[in-house]
Chains A and B, each alone.
Chain A
Amino acid sequence: MKFLQNRINSLWKMALVIILTFLLFLPSFLSLGNISLVIEMLILAVAACGLNLLMGYGGMVSFGPAGLYAIGAYTTALLIVKGKVVFSLAIIAGPIAAAIIGLLIGWFCVRLTHIYFALLTLAFSQIIHMIIFQWYSFTGGDNGIVNIRVPESLAPINNYYYFTLALTIICLAILRIIGQSSFGKALQAIRENPERAEFIGINVRRYQLAAFVISSFFLGVAGSLYCGFNRNVFPVYAHWVKGADIIVVCLLGGMYNFWGPLLGSILYVIFDKLTVSFTEYWPLVLGMIVVFLVLFMRGGVAGFLSAKYSALSLSKSEMKK
């Protein structure tokens, strides 16, 4: 048994090394267009994994991730264009701003549960959208903010790819550590049974708020990264449709698995591009995917796979303890 465990662990490590090497050499055999797609995947993965801390671990379904994503993107954009702040500072400020706004919004939202929580997050997200959309003098309204300058070193797509890859790995590693931590366990307990969590001495609301803020931070990272990638920001970043994309990515990959949202973002971007090449009705395809997931694959692709190999994963968890 132990022998098998060690085999599986070493297989995992080998797979990880192979994937990382593969990602490092990706620009040498992919076209620039495809590298852009991979960048989009990585950024979407950061956003989805960030949201998943709230949704999958904490059990709080938020309909408003787009608002916080846009706060990250617009903070970075405005600081560079209006504040003449250097890129490196602006990209750090984005997530911090998102976390601060997340604290304000979260303070109200964690007072509610289930559908009321979801609707309040949606309402705040739409407020952010309206502010960005209407405040022409500051945010440029529906013209957005265009021609955001990034440093020379990040201007080539391949360089930005490496920058995004590095940040994505760091973010996912941090989120993974948080998910595995005692705090992460407390979040899962709250998801499973908030009343019981109170009865073992956990301050449920405070933990929910902390999860909301951390999740906002990583949504902000994704927004800031996207701002640097696209070099334009538009109000649609805050629109609920963008939020729905991030939620669908979590659903597609699987909410109850750490790697689910990462898998989801890869599949999502591939689906998106594949369907666009032969139909303009991507939302129709997306709708069908959602129906299929909800009816037949609640655990998403990752949930489906891990159920298939549950014998292995169960013994794996046995190893850890």
Chain B
Amino acid sequence: MILLEAQGISKTFGGLKAVDKVDLLIEEKEISSIIGPNGAGKTTLFNLLTGKLKCDAGKIIFAGEDITELPTREICRRGLGRSFQRINIFPGLSAFENVQIAVLAQQKKTKNIFSPAPQSVVNKTNEILESVGLIDKRYILGGLLSHGDQKRLELGIALATRPKLLMLDEPTAGMSPEETEKTTELIFKLAREQGLTLLFIEHDMSVVFSISDKIRVMHQGRIIAQGKPEEVKANNEVQRIYLGEEV
């Protein structure tokens, strides 16, 4: 079944076509990645899909519903969760509170003005913190965690919104090789366990080729190639763009 479909979406900044008539089909439970050189339009594409930016043209259909004009929070509530390239957490709240607020929002409990978070939310929060490996650091303020832990916290917040489609923008950026490997394994495990559909942007080719079912290559605002890892690897144009990189 098709979970997300983008039809000819475009975004122009000044004269620059950041995203140029991109079509995208994402199947349920698919784990796919978007790669491409800096400035290819990957993050802009994410921002269009999650409603952070509005499309100049085109249409986005998620789980059978047109979400092109919806505000971010509505898109999130329909099951499209994301993490960010640059750390985007609640720095003054503890790791626990960071995840808890996302659980509360997902369960629509944030309107409860006279009652604190119920035990079920606390349990769910601890479960998520456990799965991203932050359970021992849950009382540390988000802003004081190490870079790698903040990235994991970001993942935890995104997971707490119970997404059908989880979009991760460079989930291992700035991590050491060991951390990258651990995080990649974690993401892969979580996606499989929870039956998530995963779409991620990544620069680390070992990550991309180890876990993707499908790879899409973006260049100058367009998707120039897509397919299974080996197909993409063999593509001439991709090789030309990535000349010098180990593809």
Q: Using a CB–CB distance below 8 Å, which chain A residues touch chain B?
A: 177-178, 180-186, 188-189, 191-193, 195-204, 207, 210, 256, 314, 317-318, 321
Across the interface, B90 reaches (CB within 8 A) one of A177, A196, A204, A321, namely A196
**B91 near A: Cβ within 8 Å?**
yes
Q: Does B96 contact A (CB under 8 A)?
A: yes
User: Among the listed stretches B101-109, B181-189, B201-209, which one makes contact with chain A, having 4 or more residues with CB under 8 Å of it?
Assistant: B101-109
Rounded to whole angstroms, the CA-CA distance of A184 and B114 in the bound complex is: 9
The 4 closest A-B pairs by CB, nearest first: A192-B90, A186-B110, A201-B76, A183-B113
Give the Cβ gap from A63 to chain B, nearest Cβ, in Å.
Answer: 22
- B242 contacts A by Cβ under 8 Å: no
Interchain CB contact under 8 A, A189 and B93: yes
Instruction: Specify which chain B residues have a CB less than 8 angstroms from the CB of A203 in the assembled complex.
Output: 73
Residues on B lying within 8 angstroms of A by beta carbon are: 50, 52, 71-74, 76-77, 81-82, 88-94, 96-97, 100-102, 104-106, 109-117, 121-122, 138-139, 157, 160-161
Q: Known A177-B114, A183-B112, A200-B161; judge A189-B90 contact (CB<8 A).
A: yes
* Cross-chain contact A193 with B112 (CB below 8 angstroms): no
With both chains docked as a complex, state the minimum distance between the C-beta of B76 and any C-beta of chain A, in angstroms.
4
Contact A181 B157 (CB under 8 A): no
A178 and B111 alpha carbons, distance in the complex (Å): 11
**B92 near A200: Cβ-Cβ < 8 Å:** no
B157 CB to closest chain A CB (Å) equals 7
On whether A188 and B76 interact (CB within 8 A), knowing A182-B116, A199-B82, A321-B122, the answer reads: no
- Whether A182 contacts B76 by the Cβ 8 Å rule is no
Among B74, B82, B115, which residue has its beta carbon within 8 angstroms of that of A181? B115
Rounded to whole angstroms, the CA-CA distance of A120 and B81 in the bound complex is: 34
Interchain CB contact under 8 A, A185 and B97: yes
Chain A residue nearest to B138 in the complex (CB)? A321
Given A200-B157, A321-B122, A182 and B90 contact (CB-CB distance below 8 Å): no
Chain A residue nearest to B154 in the complex (CB): A196
**Are B105 and A181 in touch, CB under 8 angstroms?**
no
List the B side residues contacting A178 at CB < 8 Å: 113-114
A182 touches B50 (CB 8 A): no
Across the interface, B105 reaches (CB within 8 A) one of A186, A317, A318, A321, namely A186
> Across the interface, which residues of B come within 8 angstroms of A321, CB to CB?
96, 122, 138
Chain A contacts for B139, CB-based, 8 A = 314, 317-318
In the bound complex, how far is the Cα of B100 from the Cα of A207, in angstroms? 17
Contact of A192 among B92, B116, B138 (CB under 8 A): B92
What distance in Å separates the Cβ of B120 from its nearest Cβ neighbour in chain A? 12
